[in-house]
Structure 1
Amino acid sequence: MRYWIGVVSHDHVLRGITGGFCQLCHGKSGPLGRMEPGDWLIYYSPSEHMGEAGSCQRFTAIGQIQDADAYPVEINADTYYRRNVAYRPCREVPVRPMIEQLTFIRNKQRWGAAFRFGHLEIGQNDFELIARAMLDAAPSAIEPDTHRN
C-alpha cells in the first residue's frame, strides 16, 4: 500500500467526491497509473478555484483507489483520465499548522514547492499525521477498505 497527495483546486475536489473519482494533473493518465487499488489519496487544495492563488491551502479529501486502471472521459472534445475512489467522510485540515511535522516538505520556508508537480508519493508517517487530523484520529478509519466497488 502506498500513500499519495494530489494537488487539485477545491471546486474540482468536490466534483470528484460527488462523482466518486479522482483526476490529477489536468486529466493526464501518467499519475493515475502510478497508483494501485487500495492505495490512499489525500487531496491538497491550494485554491478554491483553478487559477486562483493560495485561497484555500487545506487538505480537502481522503480516499482509497478502487479500480486497477485509469479510464478515459471525454469532456468538450478533450480526453481526461480518472480513477474510482472510495472517499471517506472527513474534515478539511489547514496545511500551515502541519508544515513543521511533515517530512515531505523539506524547505519549511518555501513549503508550497513540495506540491508543485501536482502528484506526489508520501511516507506512511506523513500520511497518518494528515489522515488522523482529517478523520478525527479514529485508527479504524484509516484501515484498508475491504468493501471495494
Structure 2
Amino acid sequence: MATTKYLGATVNLTGTTINVGDKAPSAVAIGTDLSDVEIGGAKDKIQLIITLPSLDTDTCAAETRRFNEDVNNLDICETTVVSMDLPFASERFCTTQGIENLTVASDYIDKALSKAYGVLMQDGKLKGLSARAVFVIDRSGIVVYKEIVEEVTAEPNYEAALDAIKEAR
C-alpha cells in the first residue's frame, strides 16, 4: 500500500496503485463551470496531472501558481490540477490568482480520479482528500513520470516533472 505523510505522521493511500509504465486510467472530474473534465488515457497532448488536498492552503496555492507559470509556454501539454475543493471555490481561486494556463477540476463527487490513481488519503486528519502527487502521461496514455510527494505539506519536484514532459515529446 502506498503512503505519504502529513506533518510527519504516515497516511495510507487507497485506490489503484499506478506506476511508471502503466496505462493511465481515464477518470472524470468536475470543472469550475460544472462541466465534465476527462483526465487520463491517451490524448493528442502530453498530460500533466496534479493532485493536491485543497487550493485553500498556502502550499497547494503556491504549487498551482508555479505550474500555471511553468506550463505557460508548453503548448504540447494539457495540465489539470485536481483537488476535492468545490467547483465554486476553485473558480474563485482561479479568478483571484490569475490561473489561466491550466485546468482546475474537482474530484469531490465520487473521488474517481483519486481512487483510479491511488492518491486518496485513507486515514489521518486529511482523510478523504487527495495526496499531493504529479503524473506525466504521454500521448499513448502511458505514465512516464510519477511523484507522490513524501510529505503532503511539501511542494513537488517541479524540474523533474517538467523534464518528463519535455522527454515525452
TM-score range, shorter chain: 0.3 to 0.5
TM-score, L = length of structure 2:
0.33
TM-score, L = length of structure 1:
0.36
Relative contact order, CA 8 A, sep 6+: which one is greater?
2
